[in-house]
Amino acid sequence: MAHWRRYPNRRQLRQWQLDADAAAAFSSKASVWRSISTPIPERGDATTCANRRHNLQLAISALHNRLILPATSFSLSQQLGEPTEAAGYRAGPVFVRGEVLRDAGGGLCLIATNLYQLFLHAGCQILERHNHSIDAYGEERFYTLGEDAAIAFSTKDLAIRNPFRQPMLLRMHVL
């Protein structure tokens, strides 16, 4: 499916993550196009919260300083790979067919929602995006209802295309 959609292959993905020096040089010549922050929910027991934060930090380390070239696609699932325990992910809350379950990589939808908001309001072309099967946060949601993004490896992805003449650099942090 990634080939059909013309998403970058794994070799290209490695080439597009800048080291700290290259990212600093890029940033010194660029301006911030859009910025967004999302609170990390402190829902669940201490283990659930710690696992969610761990998963977010692991994923962000794979996304930080990621360059998205003009007219190229970005697939969150392809960038992160399959979130398994072997890949270092821990069990956290996931939503499956209207139920809250636990699985490796739980919490990654927070990144998907954050990036969707960023890409949408920056003017990127949204190629693929899925809502969650439930409104998990109700009145405590940190996004406009219907503007969330679910991610489930091989079935639900967040994918965009950079429509601009300039490359975009993702800079991400967990505070």
Q: Which pLDDT tens digit goes with each residue over 131-164?
A: 988 887 777 777 777 888 999 988 899 999 999 9
In a domain? residue 34: no
CB 55 within 8 A of CB 20: no
Q: What is the mean pLDDT of residues 99-115?
A: 91
The pTM for the full model equals 0.85
Instruction: Give the containing element (helix H, strand E) for 116.
Output: helix 109-122
The crossing angle, in degrees rounded to 10, of helices 109-122 and 46-63 is 40
Q: What is the pLDDT of residue 87?
A: 95
Q: What is the pLDDT of residue 143?
A: 77
In a domain? residue 158: yes
Of 66, 65, 67, nearest to 20 by C-alpha is: 65
Question: Backbone phi, then psi, for 147, in 5-degree steps?
Answer: -110, 35
In a domain? residue 148: yes
Q: Which of 29-43, 94-108, 124-138 has the lowest mean pLDDT?
A: 29-43
Of all residues in the chain, what percent carry a pLDDT higher than 90? 51
The neighbouring-strand residues paired with 160 are 74, 126
For the chain, the average pLDDT equals 86
Q: What is the pLDDT of residue 141?
A: 75
Q: What is the pLDDT of residue 31?
A: 79
Of 67, 64, 47, 98, nearest to 172 by C-alpha is: 64
pLDDT in tens, 48-76: 999 999 999 999 999 999 999 999 889 99
Give the other-Cβ count within 10 Å of 150's Cβ.
21
Range(s) of the domain holding residue 90? 10-25+46-170
In a domain? residue 2: no
Q: Is the model more confident about 84 or about 174? A: 84
Q: What is the mean pLDDT of residues 167-172?
A: 92
Q: At residue 139, what is the residue type?
A: E
Of 91, 153, 158, 160, nearest to 125 by C-alpha is: 160
Q: What is the pLDDT of residue 108?
A: 94
What total number of domains does the chain contain? 1
In a domain? residue 39: no
In a domain? residue 35: no
Q: What is the pLDDT of residue 5?
A: 55
Q: What is the pLDDT of residue 166?
A: 93
In a domain? residue 33: no
In a domain? residue 41: no
Of 140, 171, 173, 142, nearest to 32 by C-alpha is: 171
